[in-house]
C-alpha cells in the first residue's frame, strides 16, 4: 500500500507540473485544482495499477461513480492547457479536465511505478 501512496504522490506532483507548476497555480489563484488533481491521481492509480472498477473506486474515495468515470475519461492531450485557460473560479468539467491532466502525467512518466 505504501508503494501505491508513493506512486499517487509522484503522479500528483507530475500533474501539478503539467498544469503549469505550483508557483504558477499560486500566482494565478488556481489552488482549487489541487484537491481534484490529487483525487484524480488516486483514481487513476487504483484503476490502472490496482485494476479496480469505477464503482469500487467511488466507494473507496467517497465520491460518485459518475465523478470517477469523468476523471477517467479526461482528455490527456488537451487537459493541461485547459487548466491554464479556464478562469480561476470556473468549475465546469473540473473532474474531466483534472482527470485528463493526471492521465497526461501518467503517460509522460510511463505506466510502470518507480522504485
Global confidence as pTM: 0.87
Residue 83 and residue 19 in contact, taking contact as beta carbons nearer than 8 Å? yes
Residue 43 and residue 71 in contact, taking contact as beta carbons nearer than 8 Å? yes
Give CA angle at 36 (88, 49), nearest 5°. Answer: 145
Q: Give the phi and the psi of residue 94 in degrees, each rounded to 5.
A: -60, -45
Q: Output the CA torsion 81→85→87→88 (10° steps).
A: 40
Q: Answer left, alpha or beta for residue 48, where phi above 0 means left and psi between -120 and 50 means alpha.
A: alpha
Full pLDDT tens readout for the chain, 115 residues: 567 899 999 999 999 999 999 999 999 888 989 999 999 999 999 999 999 999 999 999 999 999 999 999 999 999 988 888 887 667 678 899 999 999 999 999 764 444 3
Amino acid at each position: 500500500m505504501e508503494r501505491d501512496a508513493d506512486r499517487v504522490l509522484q503522479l500528483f506532483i507530475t500533474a501539478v507540473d503539467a498544469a503549469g507548476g505550483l508557483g504558477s497555480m499560486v500566482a494565478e489563484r488556481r489552488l482549487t485544482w489541487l484537491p481534484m488533481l490529487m483525487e484524480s491521481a488516486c483514481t487513476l492509480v487504483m484503476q490502472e495499477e490496482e485494476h479496480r472498477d469505477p464503482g469500487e473506486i467511488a466507494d473507496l474515495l467517497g465520491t460518485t461513480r459518475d465523478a470517477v468515470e469523468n476523471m477517467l475519461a479526461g482528455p490527456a492531450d488537451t487537459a493541461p492547457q485547459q487548466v491554464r485557460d479556464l478562469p480561476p473560479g470556473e468549475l465546469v468539467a473540473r473532474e474531466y479536465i483534472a482527470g485528463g491532466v493526471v492521465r497526461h502525467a501518467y503517460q509522460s512518466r510511463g505506466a510502470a511505478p518507480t522504485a
